[in-house]
Amino acid sequence: MPGISAARMMSRCEALAACSEQPGGLTRVFLSPEQRAANERVLAWMREAGMSARLDAIGNCVGRYEGQRPGLPALLLGSHLDTVRDAGKYDGMLGVVAAIECVHALNETGRRLPFAVEVIGFADEEGVRFNATLIGSRAVAGKLEPEVLDAVDGAGVSLRQALKDFGLDPARVGEAARERQEILAYAELHIEQGPVLEAKGLPAGVVTAINGVTRLAAEIDGTAGHAGTVPMKLRRDALAAAAECALAVERRCANGSDLVGTVGRIEALPGAVNVIPGKARFTIDVRASGDAARASAVDELCAEMKAVCARRGVAIVLRKTHENRVAACAPWLMEQLGAALAAEGLPVCRLPSGAGHDGMAMVDLCDIGMLFIRCEKGISHNPAEAITAADAETGARSFLRFIESFRAERR
Ligand code: GLV
Ligand code: MN
Ligand code: MN
């Protein structure tokens, strides 16, 4: 297909992977110097593809390709530009690069559609820096609560301050919000981050829904003491209690359903080889395809962790840091994405997303749809994340077909 270049998409993913905190690996968090470098590249690629491009009030890259006349409502495409720590090169980035590639293809032949096309590179989806997630897309959906500005990163820098340091005005983040009437739908291309498409031998699939998620921050207070002198029976070891809580999360979520639970970060304080931990902090992430199943698992887990801590004589405080209900993809967008795959001669496979995506926030603004691309062994949130150039091309070609044939159905 003229205009779609797999080589360009792959080399752009490499170029973004070079914008990293650490050499030889990829970490790029919200409002960091690395994000600034990535933004510069993305804005330049958007302009090269025929779009007007700007940074919005929360730091998202936004490109716009006008339709048959200026000012028409837009089909929004995109994904995120931030990463987890020690990330792969495609989670988020492929979706931004592929969307730009599709606009590039339209522009090359001067095609204008009966609607505008916008591409967004969201600044924060992963939520790595501020214990708050989907900040970029929540701002666009007009759902960023003002208290999020008080969230602090690991170094004690508030989001408010980080925005200022980045050259943005925290008082104006509301300006990133979009009006419902100017948006027709949000569609995202993303790697699957799971093994289903590979097992079926398919390069791409249509997402049905994004599983819901609840995240908690836990803090346990015990008593710090000398590792050599305090007998085991007299200890109030905060880390040992946290470890028992982590095992409770694992046990409760391994019930044979699609419920999953993860303790992804844990910290013991003061953190010395010869000191009994007096404090432990950890995070809990619980997901499921059903909101009720997730909510009852979280309630039971909280009760169980409190019981563990009461038995051990330590105090636990649990704070909900994030919650998103299941985000269903719109049937009409699933239909049109499936038709695009079929037009490419591909079988149409539908599958749910276990991973979270910007669509979870965008669904508050407009209908959402997603196209998944196969990734190697389903590995993601890992530097070993891999895709083939051929699959990237198939995905972008299908996405371009979807865009070209897009017919809006307002909800
Ligand atoms: C984002 O990748 C998430 O699912 O947490
Ligand atoms: Mn991710
Ligand atoms: Mn992602």
- ∠ CA 203-45-121 to the nearest 5 degrees? 65
Q: What is the pLDDT of residue 292?
A: 97
At position 353, the amino acid (one-letter code) is S
**Rounded mean pLDDT of 68-85?**
98
- pTM of the complete model: 0.92
Q: What is the pLDDT of residue 188?
A: 98
- Flag whether pLDDT at 405 surpasses 80: yes
Does ligand 1 come within 6 angstroms of the Cβ of 355? yes
- In this structure, the strands spanning 74-80 and 183-191 are parallel
**Rounded mean pLDDT of 389-399?**
98
Query: pLDDT tens digits, residue range 89-127?
Result: 999 999 999 999 999 999 999 999 999 999 999 999 999
- In this structure, the strands spanning 116-122 and 74-80 are parallel
At 2, the pLDDT band (50, 70, 90 cuts) reads low
At 3, the pLDDT band (50, 70, 90 cuts) reads confident
**Residue 247 structure tokens:** 């095992």
Q: What is the pLDDT of residue 358?
A: 98
Q: What is the DSSP string of 131-185?
A: S---HHHHHHTT---GGGGG-B-TTS-BHHHHHHHTT--GGGGGGG---GGGEEE
At position 120, the amino acid (one-letter code) is I
Distances, alpha carbon 150 to alpha carbons 131, 324, 350, in Å: 11, 20, 40
Q: Nearest C-alpha to atom 1 of ligand 1 is from which residue?
A: 356
Q: Lowest mean pLDDT of 252-256, 359-363, 395-399, name the range.
A: 252-256
Does ligand 1 come within 6 angstroms of the Cβ of 78? no
**Rounded mean pLDDT of 296-318?**
98
Short-list 238, 228, 136, CA closest to 177:
136
Query: pLDDT tens digits, residue range 227-286?
Result: 999 999 999 999 999 999 999 999 999 987 899 999 999 999 999 999 999 999 999 999
At 379, the pLDDT band (50, 70, 90 cuts) reads very high
Q: What is the pLDDT of residue 411?
A: 64
Does ligand 1 come within 6 angstroms of the Cβ of 262? no
Does ligand 1 come within 6 angstroms of the Cβ of 356? yes
- Flag whether pLDDT at 1 surpasses 60: no
At 325, the pLDDT band (50, 70, 90 cuts) reads very high
Is 148:127 a contact under the CB 8 Å cutoff? no
Question: How many other CB atoms are found less than 10 A from the CB of residue 160?
Answer: 18
Short-list 26, 104, 136, CA closest to 381:
26
Distances, alpha carbon 257 to alpha carbons 253, 292, 297, 388, 391, in Å: 8, 13, 11, 32, 31
Q: Nearest C-alpha to atom 5 of ligand 1 is from which residue?
A: 356
Is 221:318 a contact under the CB 8 Å cutoff? no
Q: Nearest C-alpha to atom 3 of ligand 1 is from which residue?
A: 356
**Start-to-end Cα distance in the chain:** 32
**Rounded mean pLDDT of 283-312?**
97
Q: Mean pLDDT of all residues in the chain? A: 97
**Rounded mean pLDDT of 169-188?**
98
Short-list 13, 125, 72, CA closest to 392:
13
Query: pLDDT tens digits, residue range 199-236?
Result: 999 999 999 999 999 999 999 999 999 999 999 999 99
Is 180:366 a contact under the CB 8 Å cutoff? yes
- Flag whether pLDDT at 24 surpasses 80: yes
Is 94:41 a contact under the CB 8 Å cutoff? no
Mutation to probe ligand 1, out of 370, 381, 385 (largest number of atoms < 8 A from CB): 381
**Rounded mean pLDDT of 51-78?**
98
